[in-house]
Amino acid sequence: MNPRAVIFDAYGTLFDVASIAEACVGITSDPARLVALWRAKQLEYSFLRALIGPAGYVDFWQVTADAFDFAAQVLDLSLSEGDRRRALEGWLHVRPYAEVSAALERLARDGRACLILSNGSPFMLDAAVSAAGLADRFTAVLSVDAVHTYKPHPRVYQLAVDALGVPAEEQLFVSSNGWDAAGARAFGYRVVWVNRAGAPTERLGFPPDATVSDLSALPLLVDHPQTEARPAEPY
Ligand code: LAC
């Protein structure tokens, strides 16, 4: 593929959102269900706020707090302020997937710029990247907060083009979120979809250039222009 830079989505791609269940132990008998409901509502609110437009923007920390309160009410949880704070702070030390550090190290060794481009607000991203010990792996951590909207709005994908002065088609965008992969492809990036969960292909058009099951295959894919992982499934 030989891109000049590799742009990573954060949550679900580098960081395991399911690990936030550890911060919810003790507040519900089913932390995994709470986190699944929470994450789905968080994404829904981000899409809706982007559609509302500038008046609808609040940062991702607020979106995350609002989604938590909704999910907690669905499950009829009665929580103290301390419980709520502990759960929310789970996002500040969300665990990276096991293969992330080695994959980033390998990409950096080859001299490639690696960036994050995420819905996360800057302090959330900085905290998670630092807690994971990955701060020196990234050339830049870009947040949608700079443009007050959310993925998959094209203004977000423009951020990495502007930051690097490199056209989208010379960069590789990597996301585990199928809708994010489609948005980045529609914008013009080359795209790898990290289908960790064996999820069905999103019916959005704009299929990825390649699909991998985790990030360990990425350095090889990037270094060898002829190498393609499993080709994107036809629609
Ligand atoms: C992000 C969301 C999509 O990191 O998880 O941008």
Name the residue among 212, 220, 131, 121 with its Cα closest to residue 174: 212
Residue 234 has pLDDT above 90, yes or no: no
What's the CA-to-centroid distance between 195 and ligand 1, angstroms? 14
* Exposed/middle/buried for residue 70 (C-beta within 10 Å: 0-12, 13-18, 19+): middle
In single-letter form, the type of residue at position 106 comes to R
What's the CA-to-centroid distance between 11 and ligand 1, angstroms? 5
Ligand 1 atom closest to 12 (CA) = 5
Residue 109, pLDDT score:
87
Q: What are phi and psi for residue 173, nearest 5 degrees?
A: -105, 130
From the list 9, 59, 145, 209, the catalytic residue is 9
Rounded to whole angstroms, how far apart are CA atoms 148 and 101?
A: 30
Ligand 1 atom closest to 117 (CA) = 6
Mean pLDDT of the chain: 94
The stretch 206-222 carries a mean pLDDT of: 96
Number of neighbouring beta carbons within 10 Å of residue 109: 9
Rounded to whole angstroms, how far apart are CA atoms 208 and 184?
A: 9
Rounded to whole angstroms, how far apart are CA atoms 227 and 22?
A: 38
Percent of the chain having pLDDT more than 70?
Answer: 95
pLDDT digits (tens, 9 = 90+) for 29-74: 999 999 999 999 999 999 999 999 999 999 999 999 999 999 999 9
Model confidence at 201, in pLDDT bands (50, 70, 90)? very high
What's the CA-to-centroid distance between 92 and ligand 1, angstroms? 14
Q: Whose CA is nearest to atom 5 of ligand 1?
A: 11
9: annotated active-site residue: yes
Ligand 1: residues with CB < 6 A are: 9-12, 118-120, 151, 177, 180
pLDDT digits (tens, 9 = 90+) for 98-140: 999 999 999 998 889 999 999 999 999 999 999 999 999 999 9
What's the CA-to-centroid distance between 38 and ligand 1, angstroms? 14
What's the CA-to-centroid distance between 10 and ligand 1, angstroms? 5
Give the CA angle between residues 62, 67, 73 to the nearest 5°.
130
Higher pLDDT, 227 or 81: 81
Model confidence at 224, in pLDDT bands (50, 70, 90)? confident
